[in-house]
Amino acid sequence: MRHTVAESLRAASLGCATVAVVLCLVYNRADGARWDVLAALAAGAFCIGAWSLMTRQAPPPGPPVPAPEPMEALPSVLSRNPVDWYLLAGMLLVAVAPWAVFRHAAYREVDIAVVILLALPLCAWIAMVSLLTVKHLIVRRLPEPHRLLAQDAKAGRVVAVRFESAGSVWMRIVPEDSTKLVDPPLEHAQHLKVRDAKGKWYGVHGLLHQGLTGPDHARKQLAVFGPRFEGRHVWILWPERWEPVLAVARRRGHPAYPVAVIADTGEMVWGYAALDYTDRYLTDPANLRATTPGLRARPVRPRPYFRAAVHGRMLLRLAVAAATLVPVLLGAVSGGVSALLGLVAAVAVMDAPGAALRGNTTVPDPSRWDVPPVEDFRTRAAS
């Protein structure tokens, strides 16, 4: 019930924001206050605030459940990540909202040449965000190496090894070629730590999606998969045709194999595994296994919850945008001041997804990730 209410609040907040944007686009600015837009913004703020309070902590793991039976039959269908409809709707709003608020604030308030000049980058923003949203959230095309793995699974054979999962680990690394002495930048990598039957450790990094939406969705999946199946056994699958993957990886300078990590429940995550320590699995003929036709693995689904480092930064930008729009919507300002406030609101909206992405990329969530101390490879190289 709590989950249903939280999802309803998320949907309602997006709906209210959509209404506000549409009202700004459809109805030109006129004398008097725009109570309709203000009401939509207030309702949206209430919904997202209620969602934040309800989900301000990570969802509890729930009562312990018996471990599922070991999965002997390997799936032949490795599915792409599902469409995140909330993120899709949010990104489309972020694409259109800056132009909507600036147009509403500047309509007949400043010279038309100024409006056209500032409209050009805003229209370019709409095109860029819309294209990236379609590419990464609707098409969701897998990288070529992972498509090869999916094809091999469907064809009937993959390299598969049984591991015990030790959970998700956030690595904080100072590279050995760093030349800074004070507060050097930290290279970070988030991965799933696993151990094979011989006690040897191995790691899998989450699938990275480059683009405006960044790797957020894939990392949330790995953050969910790690704690959920910590201490349980999982399968890691590599393509049967791993030799061409190795050759291409060396030429491209991206030393990693495509993998799929599958739990006994059938839930999976896509990822990468480093070339190091992998040959011992790929060259063993006993690890070449048949897949079961028609058996499907399903991607693990994250359950979003409020994180100040991620959602707090985003909501702060949106609050700034709403606050600067209030005088415009009340009709309290006009002329260049109105256009300037509209531009500030547009820039704040445009920076909101980037702020959330930066927080999700650089700030680990201790409820989902094990955060070890910083490992300085400069000292290791010197010794």
Query: What secondary structure does DSSP assign to 122-140, as a single string?
Result: HHHHHHHHHHHHIIIIII-
Across 50-66, average pLDDT: 74
pLDDT at 219: 63
How many angstroms separate the CA atoms of 214 and 48, rounded?
23
pLDDT of 131 over the 80 cut = yes
How many angstroms separate the CA atoms of 356 and 309, rounded?
7
How many angstroms separate the CA atoms of 315 and 272, rounded?
32
Q: How crowded is the C-beta side of 89, counted as CA atoms within 13 Å?
A: 13
pLDDT at 206: 84
pLDDT at 212: 43
pLDDT of 216 over the 60 cut = no
Picking from 36-40, 128-132, 187-191, 243-247, which range would have the lowest pLDDT averaged per residue?
A: 187-191
Q: pLDDT per residue over 3-48, tens digit each?
A: 789 899 999 999 999 999 999 988 877 777 899 999 999 999 999 9
**What are the CA-CA distances from residue 208 to residues 135, 178, 217, 233 (Å)?**
14, 24, 9, 24
Quick one: pLDDT band at residue 243, thresholds 50, 70, 90?
very high
pLDDT of 119 over the 90 cut = no
Across 203-209, average pLDDT: 78
Looking up tokens 């939406």, which residue turns up?
213
Tell me which of 313 and 118 has the higher pLDDT.
313
**Average pLDDT along the chain:** 87
Q: What one-character DSSP code corresponds to residue 330?
A: T
pLDDT of 215 over the 50 cut = no
Tell me which of 91 and 171 has the higher pLDDT.
91
pLDDT at 365: 84
pLDDT of 210 over the 70 cut = no
Neighbours of 168 (CB within 10 A): 26
pLDDT of 281 over the 70 cut = yes
Percent of the chain with pLDDT over 90: 52
Distance between start and end Cα atoms, the chain = 57
Q: What one-character DSSP code corresponds to residue 62?
A: -
pLDDT of 152 over the 80 cut = yes
pLDDT of 157 over the 90 cut = yes
Q: Where are the beta strands (DSSP E) in the chain?
A: 74-78, 157-174, 187-195, 201-206, 233-239, 256-263, 267-274, 288-299, 375-376
pLDDT at 380: 64
Neighbours of 181 (CB within 10 A): 7
pLDDT of 213 over the 50 cut = no
Quick one: pLDDT band at residue 60, thresholds 50, 70, 90?
low
Which tokens sit at 368?
């989902």
pLDDT at 100: 93
Quick one: pLDDT band at residue 64, thresholds 50, 70, 90?
low
pLDDT of 355 over the 50 cut = yes
| Nearest by Cα to 245 from 141, 159, 148, 142 | 148
